[in-house]
Every structure is written in structure tokens, then in C-alpha cells.
């Protein structure tokens, strides 16, 4: 189903019958993607004495409790409340859900003993394009990302100048296929998070960071329309389901 979307500068067409899901699901398995030193998610029937809320165990319904951490167990979208003393809710701060976006592919480069994404790399891949959202796919891009155990692995991250560049370019929504835009162990400096949300100036309350996405290799770099779907948790972060639609014109 082709529909026309009015952007600030022009009209674009997208095919709503061709959604591209770039989220990772949460499952009760040690093969679920994981980071930040926590146990795997749990999905298990509620219990009341000897009664177990499972049809397989004699109940008339399935009624599961779910235990997970949004930052550690799959695709999640977070607001500035992730790093501020004041409580900030992603459910209250994210008020729009459709964005003109660009998918880019970046090969993290060596920086001492780390692999990083630099301002120079983003400048080269984004150029003079103006986008509300940037979707970063890192390479190598294998399906191992869907089940990787990231704790103590020092995965790639954004340099501070890269985050400043995105902020100054007006990018409101940053999506990436890594557990964090910051270095795993950085003495809690969180340089990229602080830079993107501008914690030394006027806080960007309406800006979000989505981590742990997965962009399949079949998805070409280029212009897309993003539907950033979130679960309505009153929390700094929530599981999310970003959906891309290729811009047809």
C-alpha cells in the first residue's frame, strides 16, 4: 500500500506493505543477546500456591511474568533520564513516532586498543543530508549479533566528537546495533551520551538513543521513513520496535 508523506521540504512515498523490522526480540534463553553483566531474561508462569498459570500444567490460561532489563536484553529506546538525577520518562518525552531517517554502514576504526566510530566517518557517510534520525549499522554485520554475549567484550562505541557532530547536525534520534554508544568501561564518563543529550547546556528532552538494533544486510544504505514504536513504560528506557520503510522517490 503506497502512501504519501509530507516532510518539511517535500513529499515522499512509502509502501506500508513492506515494513523492515530492525528490532531484536526478547526471549527466555541464554541465546538472547545480553550485556551489562546481568542474567538472561525470564518468562515464566505466575504461581499461586500449587496453581501454575500454564495451560500445559492444567490451567485454563497462560499468564506469564516477564523479568528483563531493557538496557541489557534487546532493542531499547532511552531518553536523557538514563543519565540524569531527575527522573525522565521515555514514555512522556517521546511524543512523535515517525521520522525522516538515513541508514548508514560504518566500519569501526582502531583507536588505541578500541574500535570506534569517529566524527570523520559520520561526516563522510552522512554528508550534507538533513535527517531527523540516523540508523547506524556496523560491520562486520553477522547474525551473531542477535545472540552475542557482550559483557566484558569491549565492543565498539562512538567518540565524543561523533556524538557532538550528530547533535549539532540536528539529529534527534540515534539508532545503533551496539549495546551502547559509549565505551563499556569508561569510569562512568558516558561521553557520547552526555554530548548527544547536551547535558552541559539545554537538555535535549525530545532526543532519543536506541541501542541493540539489527539491520539485515539486505537493507541498503539510504533514505527511509522510521516508525519508532515503544512500549509505554514510565522509565528512562523501554523495549522498542523500530520499523523502517524505504522511501520510494
Percent of the chain with pLDDT over 90: 94
How far is it, in rounded angstroms, from Cα 37 to Cα 147? 15
Q: What is the pLDDT of residue 69?
A: 98
- Write the CB contacts of 42 (distance below 8 Å, at least 6 apart in sequence): 28, 65, 66, 67, 68
- pLDDT, one tens digit per residue, over 179-201 is 999 999 999 999 999 999 999 99
- pLDDT, one tens digit per residue, over 207-236 is 999 999 999 999 999 999 999 999 999 999
Q: What is the pLDDT of residue 67?
A: 98
| Contact of 104 with 137, CB cutoff 8 Å | yes
Confidence at 3, pLDDT banded by 50, 70, 90: confident
Is residue 249's pLDDT more than 80?
A: no
Is residue 43's pLDDT more than 80?
A: yes
- pLDDT, one tens digit per residue, over 49-74 is 999 999 999 999 999 999 999 999 99
| Contact of 86 with 203, CB cutoff 8 Å | no
C-alpha cell at 33: 543477546
| Contact of 28 with 47, CB cutoff 8 Å | no
Angle in degrees, 0-180, between the axes of helices 160-168 and 119-126, rounded to the nearest 10: 40
**The whole model's pTM is what?**
0.96
- The yes/no answer on whether domain 2-39+69-246 falls in CATH 3.60.20.10 is no
- pLDDT, one tens digit per residue, over 98-136 is 999 999 999 999 999 999 999 999 999 999 999 999 999
What are the backbone angles phi and psi of residue 117, rounded to the nearest 5°?
Answer: -110, 125
| Contact of 172 with 208, CB cutoff 8 Å | yes
Q: What is the pLDDT of residue 174?
A: 99
Amino acid at each position: 500500500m503506497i502512501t504519501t508523506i509530507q516532510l518539511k521540504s517535500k513529499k515522499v512515498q512509502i509502501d506500508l506493505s513492506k515494513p523492515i523490522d530492525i528490532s531484536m526480540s526478547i526471549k527466555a534463553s541464554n541465546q538472547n543477546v545480553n550485556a551489562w553483566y546481568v542474567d538472561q531474561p525470564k518468562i515464566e508462569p505466575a504461581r499461586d500456591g500449587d496453581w501454575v498459570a500454564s495451560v500445559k500444567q492444567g490451567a485454563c490460561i497462560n499468564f506469564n511474568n516477564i523479568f528483563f532489563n531493557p538496557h541489557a536484553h534487546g532493542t531499547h529506546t532511552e531518553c536523557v533520564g538514563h543519565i540524569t538525577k531527575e527522573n525522565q520518562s521515555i514514555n512522556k518525552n517521546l511524543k512523535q513516532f515517525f521520522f525522516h531517517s538515513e541508514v548508514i554502514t560504518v566500519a569501526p576504526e582502531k583507536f588505541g586498543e578500541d574500535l570506534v566510530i569517529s566524527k570523520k566517518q559520520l561526516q563522510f557517510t552522512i554528508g550534507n543530508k538533513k535527517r531527523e534520525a540516523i540508523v547506524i549499522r556496523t560491520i562486520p554485520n553477522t547474525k551473531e549479533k542477535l545472540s552475542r554475549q557482550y559483557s566484558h567484550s569491549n565492543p565498539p562505541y562512538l567518540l565524543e566528537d561523533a556524538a557532538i557532530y550528530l547533535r549539532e547536525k540536528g539529529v534527534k534520534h540515534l539508532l545503533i546495533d551496539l549495546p551502547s554508544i559509549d565505551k563499556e568501561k569508561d569510569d562512568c564518563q558516558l561521553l557520547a551520551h552526555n554530548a548527544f543529550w547536551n547535558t552541559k547546556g539545554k537538555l535535549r528532552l525530545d532526543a532519543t538513543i536506541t541501542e541493540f538494533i539489527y539491520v539485515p544486510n539486505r537493507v541498503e544504505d539510504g533514505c527511509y521513513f522510521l516508525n519508532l514504536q515503544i512500549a509505554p513504560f514510565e522509565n528512562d528506557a523501554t523495549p522498542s520496535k523500530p520499523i523502517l520503510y524505504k522511501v520510494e522517490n
